[in-house]
Amino acid sequence: MTIVMLSAVLATLLVGLSAQPLLIRWLRRRGVMDTPNHRSSHVSETPRGGGIGVVVSMCAGFTAYGVSRSGPLPAFLVVLLGMATLGLADDLFGLPSLVRLGVQICVGTLGVLMLGSPNWIGLILVLWIAAYTNAFNFMDGANGLSGFNALFVGLVYAVASGHYAQPGQTAAALVLAAGAAAFLPWNVPRARVFLGDVGSYAQGGFIAILATSLARSGVPLVIVLAPLSVYLADTTTTLIQRARLGEPLLEAHRSHTYQKAIVCGMSHTAVSLTTVAFAALVTGAAWLAVSVHSALAISFSICTAAIALGGYLALPAVVRRRGAVT
């Protein structure tokens, strides 16, 4: 890690840690509160919008590093701020789902064009950015879940970009990790503030555009997708199940695997760390498959990843069974 990267990380951490107390007071005064209902995983009113502090801290990190220092950084920043603005508007006023999707596509299009993908592949990448932004938002329902996963993804991408890609991508990944780390003390184990849509849209969009840039820079796709695999598996299986039952796909619910595990008795922190642990198993398997060029290693990696994802999806049943035994 260079001195400039270290300064970006420190700036992100310092701004993120110091911004939240002021932000929490402001959110309470504005009445931007998350009131629990029958779909919620929390039981008390909590300020919603702590993602503002995360976004501000990441912008501070980019400023310390120098946005113009590397080609992809302006695209990352545009997606971060565009998705954050959308999320903030949704937190404050509430927006129809089609409006949110339309803005996500517009922001994703701008980011992809800035990376230089104007053809049909660019269309796929735009849809990917919108899809993962929503997936990250759907998964933001337990204390620490988004923070721990964004921290993990940032660290994995920092290692991957350091090995395969550009310094600017490494700096962006480290800023992502630092922004998540600075938010965690305010969200775990007791949530004094939630990310809100401003935070989940911003982090989800940022991860998606960073993943896109890494894949375009030569990082193997399996390594890019591995740390995201648990979120993608949970969201995909949940949407399929809800579609089969004829339930509204965009309506708030408690059908995700992590939500079911909490209902069955797991704590928010345990669910969050378990999610990261399964993602780490898949990521380790991906690195093994890429590093060791043999049929045995690839077969072992595929089996490990399948077992890890299957184990995560079976988590509610395992917790329920343990509860019944005890």
What residue ranges of the chain have pLDDT lower than 50?
A: 326
| Domain termination site, one of 183, 203, 219 | 219
61 and 144 share one domain: yes
Ramachandran angles phi, psi of 34, nearest 5°: -95, 110
> Three-class SS of residue 300?
helix
Residues facing 46 on adjacent strands: 34
102 and 214 share one domain: yes
Residue range of the domain that includes 119: 1-219
* Whole-number pLDDT of residue 165: 67
> Is residue 249 within 8 Å of residue 259, measured between CB atoms?
no
Task: For residues 32 and 303, give the distance between their C-alpha atoms in angstroms, rounded to a whole number.
Answer: 45
135 and 175 share one domain: yes
Q: How many CA atoms lie within 13 A of 13 on its CB side?
A: 11
96 and 141 share one domain: yes
177 and 54 share one domain: yes
276 and 184 share one domain: no
CB < 8 Å & 24+ apart, contacts of 299-307: 305/226, 305/229, 305/281, 307/281
65 and 205 share one domain: yes
250 and 298 share one domain: yes
Taking alpha carbons only, the member of 117, 114, 21, 103 closest to residue 72 is 114
Task: For residues 66 and 54, give the distance between their C-alpha atoms in angstroms, rounded to a whole number.
Answer: 18
296 and 186 share one domain: no
Alpha helical stretches, state H, 256-325: 257-263, 268-291, 295-313, 315-325
| Domain termination site, one of 187, 219, 251 | 219
* Whole-number pLDDT of residue 69: 57
Peptide linkage before 167 cis (omega within 30 of 0):
no
**Angle, vertex CA 69, rays to CA 66 and CA 70, nearest 5:** 125
197 and 235 share one domain: no
* Whole-number pLDDT of residue 12: 98
| Domain termination site, one of 189, 219, 249 | 219
Please report how the helices 196-216 and 73-93 are oriented relative to each other, as an axis angle in degrees rounded to 10: 160
| Number of domains the chain is built from | 2
* Whole-number pLDDT of residue 42: 59
208 and 146 share one domain: yes
297 and 258 share one domain: yes
Q: How many CA atoms lie within 13 A of 203 on its CB side?
A: 39
* Whole-number pLDDT of residue 326: 47
